[in-house]
Amino acid sequence: MARPIVRILSRYILRQHLPPLAYALAALTCAMLINQIAKQFGNFVGKGLPWSVIFEVFALSIPFIVAMTLPMAVLVAVLYTFSHLAADNEVTAMKASGISAGRILVPVLGGAAFIAAIAFVWNDQILPRSNHELRTLLVDIQRKKPTFQLKEQVINEVVAGQFFLRAARIDPASNALSDVTIYDLEDPDRRRVIIADSGHMAYSPGGTDLYLTLRDGEVHEIKRTDPDHFNRTFYGINRIKVAGVSNTFDKTKNDEYRGDREMTICAMQDIVARARKDQDRVRIEGVTAVMADLRRIAGLAQLPPPPAADTTPPGPTLYCRMLATLGRLVGPRAAQAQVPVRRQAKPAPPPPPPPAAVRPPPVAVTNLAYTSQTAAAYVQRLRATRQRAAIYEVEIQKKLAISAACVIFALLGMPLAIRYPRGGVGLVIGTSLAVFSVYYVGLIGGEELGDRLIVPPFLAMWTPNLLFLLASIPLLIGARRAGSTAHGGDWEELRQTLFGWVDRIRNSEFVMRHWR
């Protein structure tokens, strides 16, 4: 049984962490949300959307922001709390009472592990659903008033496969155009290119048709049935009606498609397992096809076909089975449909025996070039299946790595704050910005390398965690020493702790050279 003073100390340390954690999480989330609103608010307001839809877009962005800011908040809270404890000599008093730095770290790690569990559930269950709803809503928004999304100096598709528009300058406020080129492919027997010096866009009262008023231009027209004749018409004002352009906002009721960031870990694990079975099947088919071609070239008898690859769906993992059991206990029971009684039908007469198989005549000419092409095709198919599995494996490892970062940041922040308390607020802000920048740049780069099959998914996502874990080991060793109290060092001593081994190696090499 633990001593009461230890339990009181653990509760005290955890209580000191709660306010900074809440403040840091709220401040970081609000800062990133305001940045998101500043970037996208003008686009959404310009589309004439209801305010409820605009609010829903930014509300659905909060789960993604929280998933990124939760590990940040843990680091800020640990740095702030222990720097104040060390500056107020509370850490010195704890060590004088016989409490080691490792014992002080235990409640911090317990709290960080609890937050990591919350982050894991958040990333696995809440974040995919919000990402799916957000993507569906953004697609619905893009369907409304598509001409607002026209880009300058780009051929924009106004009506799919039929009407394309390019303009050098576009004014979204007045819908004015300048230096306009239109490609009209609506009539399959006729191609028209319309050029105008300027123009203006307007909608019909119902919002389903688009009217273009073009000025000072010409029309180039050619018919496929008569390619020898080319018509060129000059005009002062040309009015064009583009039918079928929707300007209404309709929300999608049910969208079954889900990307990798819109799936839970269980759903992605099922896809990864199926992709691995496809890899085995493609590998067997490729080896069999290449061996058959080579034996045909050598004039050898063909081998019997290999056994078919196992295509049974993979079973769920322990975590997925636990979630399924919990869902059955908590969720409503599904209604079972009644199976209709079927009458026994008369047995059908046996089918006639198949005709005797006729072996095709041997191929007279078979070269190695065809065999190499066959092998290259199977290699491409194998790489495609590997890449499909890697994309989902990277996403799974990213969810796990971001959750585990809460514990890693606690291990890194506690000895930093105790060893170098004279850094103050500058230590909190500077260390946080440096760690966040390195960590998330590493995540983005690792995700790209993992998706391209350059780095294994585990290393691609866990390398930033491993690097910061290695960086925290010398700091933890230094924090255990008796001298690492509120009278600790400053930034120069921090540099010596992290990179002092480099100076020691250089000094030893210098001594060895002079000794010789």
Q: Are 268 and 390 in contact (CB under 8 A)?
A: no
Question: For residue range 82-125, what is the model confidence (pLDDT) as tens digits?
Answer: 888 887 888 878 877 777 777 888 888 999 999 999 999 999 99
Comparing 34 with 151, the larger pLDDT belongs to: 34
For the segment 395-415, the average pLDDT, to the nearest whole number, is 93
Strand pairing class (226-242; 210-223): antiparallel
Specify the DSSP element, H or E, that contains 168: strand 163-171
Share of the chain above pLDDT 70, in %: 79
Tell me if 295 sits within 8 A of 287, measured CB to CB.
no
Q: Cβ neighbours of residue 392 under 8 Å, at least 6 residues apart? A: 260, 263, 268, 269, 271, 272, 275
Beta bridge partners of 226: 223
Q: What per-residue confidence (pLDDT) applies to 361?
A: 44
Contact 379, 287 (CB under 8 A): no
> What is the pLDDT, as a whole number, of residue 73?
93
Over residues 50-56, mean pLDDT: 87
The pLDDT of residue 499: 58
Distance of CA 359 to the CA centre of its chain: 52
The pair of structure tokens assigned to 355 is 């005709």
Q: Which residues contact 205 (CB under 8 A, 6 or more apart)?
A: none
Q: Where are the domains of the chain?
A: 4-142+394-502, 147-242
Separation CA 392–CA 436 (nearest Å): 24
Instruction: With a cut of 80, say whether residue 484 has pLDDT above it.
Output: no
Give per-residue pLDDT as tens, 180-204: 999 988 888 888 999 999 999 887 7
What is the model's pLDDT at position 357? 45
Tell me: the pLDDT tens digits for 154-172? 888 877 778 888 998 888 7
Contact 78, 413 (CB under 8 A): yes
Strand partners, 181: 166, 195
What pLDDT is stored for residue 39 in this prediction? 84
Model pLDDT for residues 240-256, shown as the tens digit of each residue = 888 766 666 777 777 78
Query: What rounded mean pLDDT belongs to the chain?
Result: 81
